[in-house]
Amino acid sequence: MKISARNILKGKVKQVKHGMVDTEVDIELPGGIEIVSVITKYSAENLKLKEGKDVYAVIKASNVMIMVE
């Protein structure tokens, strides 16, 4: 499989929290860093996401905002 996104991070599902429509997926990357993705509940079920499953977080964004206090 090939994809145009440049940022592909391999990790493991740490937690899956299903809502009425969306699902929040916590992914633990190597080194203990965690990222969170919110996807549709349908997609989460279709991907059979569960704790401990190996996944790839694919990040494709034209804008990344940075903020400081």
Q: Say if 65 falls within a structural domain.
A: no
CA dihedral 7, 42, 12, 28 (to 10 degrees): 70
User: In which domain, by residue range, is 37 found?
Assistant: 7-59
Mean pLDDT by 10 residues, the chain (69 residues): 86 97 96 94 96 93 77
Q: Say if 69 falls within a structural domain.
A: no
Q: Say if 66 falls within a structural domain.
A: no
Under a CB-based contact definition with an 8 Å cutoff, are residues 59 and 41 in contact? Answer: no
CATH number of the domain where residue 34 is located: 2.40.50.100
Q: Say if 20 falls within a structural domain.
A: yes
The Cα-based distances of 34 to 42, 45, 69 in angstroms read 23, 21, 23
pTM for the predicted model, two decimal places: 0.83
Q: Say if 43 falls within a structural domain.
A: yes
| Number of domains into which the chain is organized | 1
